[in-house]
Structure 1
Amino acid sequence: MFDQVGYFILQALLILTILVVTVGIALGETLIRKK
């Protein structure tokens, strides 16, 4: 039970990290293009 919860949290953190990086790169490119 604990292993499943830990794996779920790890997977959620991984997805969140990927989303943050993707959004950050997109925003960075947008700001660079505006300049």
Structure 2
Amino acid sequence: MVDIVLVYLSLAPWLGGEVVYWWSLVQVLQSTMF
């Protein structure tokens, strides 16, 4: 699932603030899975 989010981020760098939000979400997911 994290890979899908990363692909989404790479395809939508123009979101600006949204990218920061999603990146933070990825960090949380990684901290919970690993």
TM-score band w.r.t. shorter chain: 0.5 to 0.7
Which segments of 5 or more consecutive residues in structure 1 lack a partner in the other structure?
Answer: 1-5, 29-35
- More RCO (CA 8 Å, sep 6+): 2
Identity %: 10
Structure 2 length-normalised TM: 0.54
Which segments of 5 or more consecutive residues in structure 2 lack a partner in the other structure?
Answer: 1-13
Backbone CA RMSD of aligned residues: 1.2
Structure 1 length-normalised TM: 0.53
Q: Which runs of 4+ in 1 moved over 2 A?
A: none
Higher helix share: 1
User: Which of 1 and 2 has greater Rg?
Assistant: 1
